[in-house]
Chain A
């Protein structure tokens, strides 16, 4: 018998601190599988965010840097530019980190078409701090800071990051995926692999938004959270490719 599935080498052999059924763990594994498959562990530097994945540096076996809240794309820019040939640089960021406090860093890294890979985990809430409203929390969504449901008249509407960034000339590749089923996990991995391959090929800013769950702060079982993604998240955050410059150029030929 041959091993057909095992923990990727780029993921350390230690238990992760995430809540039971939290899909952060699946996304970590997909990134690690891609690092293994591309054979880039030795040259990869990951930038960890502030948020539940703040200790991602414990879990990936490549070099890691911990950024101040929201600043991962700025740090990634510096690391990448310091040795573009020999560094593969990725950030791993939640929605509070990437789309709230770090929105400026995100937008400008995309506008510059910085040659980095961004893994954006959108769970529509601030998980680490106990479930406050995020820039991506849905209209009507109950959180610690919107106990009667998010009221767009008071708090505005949630931000669709892929759609927004797709209006910029800069970025190379923007795709939204999710990991709430086996089929979706396979598609998510393809997108993450492409986002790393683009960097290797020197194509520029590649961001994969992964619609993720937070059973703990959504206040539901892990199973109900996966269904909540289908019923509530995907209608507001449709899956798909929002920008793929290379594919567009090929099509125009």
Chain B
């Protein structure tokens, strides 16, 4: 079990986390817009996340907190 928490309003929608996830569990929410005007990243299937923190390591803006 793992849990990701997104500081959504810090996200710049760069998508680096999306590519970093080995299980391809992240997406940019194209139907949402955050305070900065970006499509923020989110996790599609939390139950499949192994908590490897690859996304968080790759994120330039410290958006993602990982618990395991």
Contacts and interface: CB of A to CB of B under 8 A. Distances in A.
B36 A5 contact: no
Given A1-B67, A26-B60, A15 B1 contact: no
A182 B68 contact: no
A25 interface: yes
Contact of B67 (A4, A19, A221): A4
A20 B12 contact: yes
Interface string A37-81: 000000000000000000000000000000000000000000000
Contact of A23 (B2, B3, B53, B60): B60
Interface residues on B, range: 20 to 34
A222 B38 CA distance: 14
A237 to B, nearest CB: 20
B6 interface: no
A3 B16 CA distance: 21
A124 interface: no
A5 B19 CA distance: 18
Interface residues on A, range: 20 to 34
A29 B61 CA distance: 8
Nearest to B67: A1
Contacts of A21: 12, 14-16, 60
B58 A26 contact: yes
A182 B54 contact: yes
Nearest to B1: A1
A222 B14 contact: yes
Contacts of A181: 58
Contacts of B65: 3, 5-7
Contacts of B59: 25-26
Given A21-B15, A222-B15, A226-B16, A3 B67 contact: yes
B3 A20 contact: no
A199 B3 CA distance: 37
B64 to A, nearest CB: 7
A207 B40 CA distance: 35
Interface string B1-40: 1110000011011111001100000000000000010100
A6 B7 CA distance: 11
Contacts of A185: 57-58
A3 B59 CA distance: 17
Contacts of B14: 20-21, 222
Contacts of B66: 3-6
A232 interface: no
A192 interface: no
Contact of A223 (B19, B56, B67): B19
6 contacts: A5-B66, A16-B61, A20-B13, A25-B61, A182-B20, A221-B15
Interface of B: 1-3, 9-10, 12-16, 19-20, 36, 38, 51, 53-54, 56-62, 64-68
